[in-house]
Amino acid sequence: EGRNQYEKTFGLPSDDVFQAIYSSEEEMLKFMGLMNSSWVLDGHDVVTAFDLSCFQRIIDLGGCTGALANEMARAYPASSITVFDLPEVVEAAQKHYSQEGNGVAFQSGDFFRGDIPSADLYVLARIVHDWTEEKCLALLKKIYEACKPGGGVLLIEALLFENRRGPLMVQIFSLNMLVQAEGRERSPSEYTNMLNKSGFHNVQVCRTGKSYDAILAIR
């Protein structure tokens, strides 16, 4: 049909893909376990794709279990790392995933509907690919306004080639987005264009050679 199957499958609007995922604790914990495993495997590579030691306060928006934040805390011990996620996600993360001794803080909120706390660097890991360009631009502009001058945003996504003919795994990720979400995987130039439209500049792209790549942009 050329469009997502979310509403047909779950009977819920497709504009909030996480309604069904977070409809029960069991489903939410399954999803959180998947996110946790991704960053246990690839987290170190993406947080060290660029030297982020100049950013003192880092907020991982939609940081889920804190697995990626843990990797950042290990790589940049002088920085303060905070996971910002929905209240139910924060509660489950603190209940089911060990947070002892890593120095990572948690803060509840909704980055689409509420205020975003001030920081030097915002991390969006596998967030932008979930949404339409319109929603992504609104979020990135909101982050730009909250970001301190000289600060930045780090996007962590699986990047398509510019000709969109690979990598195969990223094309499969994009098919998954078509089936169940509003978004899609994008090429480096598409992410760069969105970041520039949002006010960010000095966009740098790093292909890590692993499942996920990194894009850093500065305000």
168 and 139 in contact (C-beta within 8 Å)? no
Q: In what order do the strands lie in the sheet with 57-61?
A: 105-108, 80-85, 57-61, 119-125, 147-157, 213-218, 201-206
Hunting for tokens 């502009």 — which residue is that?
Answer: 141
Helix H or strand E segment including 217: strand 213-218
Q: Is 3 helix (H, G, I), strand (E, B) or coil?
A: coil
Q: Quick one: CA torsion of 71, 206, 129, 117, rounded to 10 degrees?
A: 50
Any catalytic annotation for residue 129? Answer: yes
How many C-beta atoms lie closer than 10 Å to residue 181's C-beta?
19
Tell me which of 44, 96, 129, 201 is the catalytic residue: 129
Segments in the chain forming alpha helices (H): 6-10, 18-21, 25-47, 67-75, 87-96, 133-146, 168-180, 188-197
- CA-to-CA distance for 207 and 3, rounded, in angstroms? 29
Rounded Cα distance between 48 and 46, Å, is: 5
Quick one: CA dihedral 185, 190, 194, 195, positive or negative? positive
Known catalytic residues are: 129
